[in-house]
Amino acid sequence: MNAMAALKQYQTVNTQAQAVEASPHRLIQMLMEGGLTRLAQARGAMERNQVALKGELISKAIGIVGGLREGLDLEQGGELAANLDSLYEYMATRLVEANVQNEVAPLDEVASLLRNVKAGWDAVGH
């Protein structure tokens, strides 16, 4: 995992002082939390037909997923990291589809997937 890439991505999406002192594990948690928040906000914007805001929020969610993907260490992470890489790529694709097709279902699917990954990450601890 590249903690600096994760930190950089988090700061570009949602700058908070706590990110500077957070552990690499906590940084990933913060990215996932931020992603889930952006997905929920994008869903609301979509339901209110706020097209520009929806696009901006989905773009931020894609950036967060990209940050999670960049944080993977494919050499040391083995099959797990490779599977997460594929999953994050799929999530980003689904988010683009949600934006282009203006559909809630892909947002909900990605949120569910991200919640599952986060639950596993949270269970690992530090």
Residues 23-77 pLDDT 10s: 888 989 999 999 999 999 999 999 999 999 999 999 999 999 999 999 999 999 9
Cα(91)–Cα(65) distance, integer angstroms: 7
Q: Give the other-Cβ count within 10 Å of 79's Cβ.
A: 7
The pLDDT of residue 25: 87
pTM for the model stands at 0.83
* Pair of tokens at residue 66: 């990209």
**Residue 88 pLDDT > 80, yes or no?**
yes
Reading phi first (left if > 0) and then psi (alpha if -120 to 50, else beta), residue 80 is in alpha
Residue pair 66/92 in contact by the 8 Å Cβ criterion: yes
* Pair of tokens at residue 106: 């892909």
* Pair of tokens at residue 91: 């999530």
Cα(107)–Cα(98) distance, integer angstroms: 6
Domains with residue ranges and CATH for the chain? 3-124 (1.20.120.340)
- Residue identified by tokens 């600096």 is 4
The pLDDT of residue 101: 96
